[in-house]
Amino acid sequence: MDAAALILAITPVPILLYYISMYSDGRSISDLFGCLSAVWAILATFFVLGGFPGSLLFPVMLGTSALGGFLEYGRSRKGWDLAQGILLGLALIWVVILLEAI
């Protein structure tokens, strides 16, 4: 693995650290799913090096984070968590349509 692959693999680490920090403060489901999303992004680099289609990277990231938003809303009933789920869900739909359209 060359240095470029290493740089790409560590790119989601700041986001992972952010969500770990937020989760340790508030134990929010959406922050936990944010952690999972960042871990997926790190692992995906190695999967792509092995031949896995990279077009699944962003849809899985967005889907995981959107699901976290909806699950957290189910617990907290806060509008912000619902908005996160809806916005990320719309972003997921947009990415899927974009990937199909190009």
Of 56 and 86, nearer to another protein (C-beta) is 56
62, 91 contact by CB (below 8 A): yes
The helix-helix angle for 57-76 and 79-101 (nearest 10°) equals: 160
Amino acid letter, residue 6:
L
d(C-alpha 5, C-alpha 87), whole Å: 30
Of 4 and 79, nearer to another protein (C-beta) is 4
Of 55 and 93, nearer to another protein (C-beta) is 55
Chain residues in the site for another protein (CB under 8 A): 2-5, 7-8, 10-12, 14-15, 17-18, 21-22, 25-28, 48-51, 53-55, 57, 76, 99-100, 102
